[in-house]
């Protein structure tokens, strides 16, 4: 079966760095997406990785290792507004997105 | 440019009632999707459409029907609502067909079935 695993909840301090991990087992691979979802709102796109390595976009970076079925989202210089759920999703061989349950990130002052 | 919009935002139904959720996008996207999101679970695909006049089943299609008569609209119908269909429903759209592309989401519809 297809499976996406990520931690349920993480806590970090304002100004610090946090890494959210995602491991996956899917039928085929056409890229991995990270989305941010604030409570009561729609998911919004953060990043897309299809090749191994690190993609940096401002305070956010995303890493992919296809051989290990592993990705992480790195958030630097955490701000209170980063409190949200972070969703990992893999596009399978049919171009369907398989979603993880999300990691709720709590930022403390 | 409103992006993806959904109506209604909230709805309470009694078991056995029917309703239609409307999704509209103004980005001229080919692909449209209906997901449901339940606590502790990832988004699950209900139905999707690869273009006007086409629909296909996703992971959890039972109890739902869809139609895409116009490119910009994607309707989700519940013929006889059940408490198990209490959920948050998200519509999404993407530009390209058959290739990895970002999905843009609507604000969601919160449905409670009593």
Distance CA B40, CA B43 (A): 10
Q: How many CA atoms lie within 13 A of A10 on its CB side?
A: 23
- Main-chain dihedrals φ then ψ at residue B15, nearest 5 degrees: -50, 130
Cα separation, A42 vs A89, whole angstroms: 15
CB contact under 8 A, A45 and B90: no
Place of tokens 């940096």: A56
Q: Which parts of chain B have pLDDT scores under 70? A: 97-99
Q: Whole-angstrom Cα distance, residue A107 to residue B56?
A: 40
Residues of chain A with pLDDT under 70: none
- Beta strand pairing call for A60-65 and A53-57: antiparallel
Distance CA A78, CA A57 (A): 14
**Cβ count within 10 A of residue B30:** 17
pLDDT value of position B97: 61
Are A98 and B58 within 8 A, CB to CB? no
* Pair type for strands A103-108 and B87-94: unpaired
Mutate to test the interface with A, among B10, B29, B42, B94 (most CBs of A within 10 A): B42
A87 touches chain B (CB under 8 A): yes
Closest residue of B to A50, CA-based?
B100
3-state SS of chain A is CCEEECCCEEEEECCCCEEEEEEEECCCCCCEEEEEECCCCCCEEEEEECCCEEEEECCEEEEEECCCCEEEEEECCCCHHHCEEEEEEEECCCCCEEECCCEEEEEEC
Residue of B nearest to A45 (CA): B102
pLDDT of residue B108: 97
Do B105 and A91 make contact, defined as CB atoms within 8 angstroms?
A: no
pLDDT at A2: 85
- Which of A41, A42, A100 lies at the smallest CB-CB distance from B42? A100
Strand pairing partners for B1?
none
- Measure in Å the smallest separation between the Cα of A63 and chain B Cα atoms: 18
Distance CA B75, CA B38 (A): 20
Determine the pLDDT at residue B99: 65
On whether any CB of chain A is under 8 Å from the CB of B1, the answer is no
CA B80, CA B17: separation in Å to the nearest integer?
5
Find, among A104, A81, A106, the residue nearest to A6 by Cα: A104
Contact across the interface for B104 and A45, Cβ inside 8 Å: yes
Task: Point out the residue among A31, A41, A42 whose CB comes nearest to the CB of B100.
Answer: A31
């Amino acid at each position: 079966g297809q499976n996406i695993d990520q931690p349920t909840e993480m806590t970090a301090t304002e100004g610090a760095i946090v890494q959210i991990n995602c491991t996956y087992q899917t039928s085929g691979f056409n890229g991995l997406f990270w989305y941010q979802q604030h409570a009561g709102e729609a998911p919004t796109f953060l990043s897309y990785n299809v090749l191994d390595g690190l993609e940096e976009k401002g305070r956010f970076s995303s890493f992919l290792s296809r051989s290990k079925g592993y990705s992480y989202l790195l958030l630097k210089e955490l701000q209170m507004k980063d409190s949200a759920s972070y969703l990992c999703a893999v596009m399978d061989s049919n171009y369907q997105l398989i979603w993880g349950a999300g990691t709720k990130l709590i930022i403390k002052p | 440019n409103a992006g993806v919009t959904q109506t209604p935002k909230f709805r309470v139904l009694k078991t056995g009632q029917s309703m239609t959720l409307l999704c509209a996008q103004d980005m001229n996207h080919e692909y449209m999707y209906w997901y449901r999101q339940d606590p502790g679970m990832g988004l699950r695909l209900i139905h999707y459409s690869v273009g006007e006049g086409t629909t296909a089943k996703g992971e959890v299609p039972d109890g739902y029907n869809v139609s895409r008569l116009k490119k910009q609209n994607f309707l989700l119908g519940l013929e006889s609502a059940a408490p198990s269909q209490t959920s948050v429903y998200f519509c999404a759209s993407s530009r390209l067909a058959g290739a990895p592309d970002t999905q843009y989401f609507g604000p969601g519809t919160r449905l409670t079935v009593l």
